[in-house]
Amino acid sequence: MAAGLDVEHLAIPEVLVVTCRRHGDDRGFFSETYNRDRFREAGITMDFVQDNHAYSAEKGTVRGLHFQTPPFAQDKLVRVVRGAILDIAVDLRTGSPTYGRYVSAVISAKAWNQILVPVGFAHGLVTLEPDTEVLYKVSNVYSPEHDKGLLWNDPALGIDWGLAEEEAILSAKDKTQPRLADLPAYFSSDKDQSR
């Protein structure tokens, strides 16, 4: 544990859940949600270049599964400032022993935790509460030409989203993403080739 940070490796160890310390009193709280030096002490060395903010009005809103391809591939550090999500990361690194497998974690404002989804993974989430707000840092800028996706309910992935398919609220784009079997090999398990 780095000073002020608790880091948990998920079943695919490159995906991390990070919890930052909160200091509270009768006025509320203060929390340092990102400090480059403290994150680096914990082995998280990505340089983040952009912050994004997503709001979902309804419980059951699915966003994903999204990723960007090299040379605009992105690491993501995701946190929730209101509500809760089930966050999903799917390994897209060919040659990886966990290729095509996923990990998930509940990320919430109450738990004050974050999830780090590195390059080489598709990322998605489903809101567990209405009026959920998600903030996330990315290590590369948005590039429309490199913006790709994976079908959220591809049977080959076996993701348990915690809701029936007919209850999911999706964008038109996310309803028609390709299946894993139809994706080119965008990433390799060799870290030097994945960027």
Marked catalytic residue, from 66, 102, 123, 186: 66
**Ramachandran assignment for 41, one of left (phi > 0), alpha (psi -120 to 50 degrees), beta (any other):** alpha
The vertex-108 CA angle with 107 and 111, nearest 5°, equals 100
Concerning whether 136 is annotated as a catalytic residue, the answer is: yes
Structure tokens that stand for 15 in this block: 């995906």
Nearest partner of 157 among 129, 123, 187, judged by Cα: 123
Marked catalytic residue, from 23, 55, 102, 136: 136
Enter the DSSP assignment of 169: B
Structure tokens that stand for 42 in this block: 């914990």
Structure tokens that stand for 115 in this block: 């999830």
As annotated, the active-site residues are: 66, 136
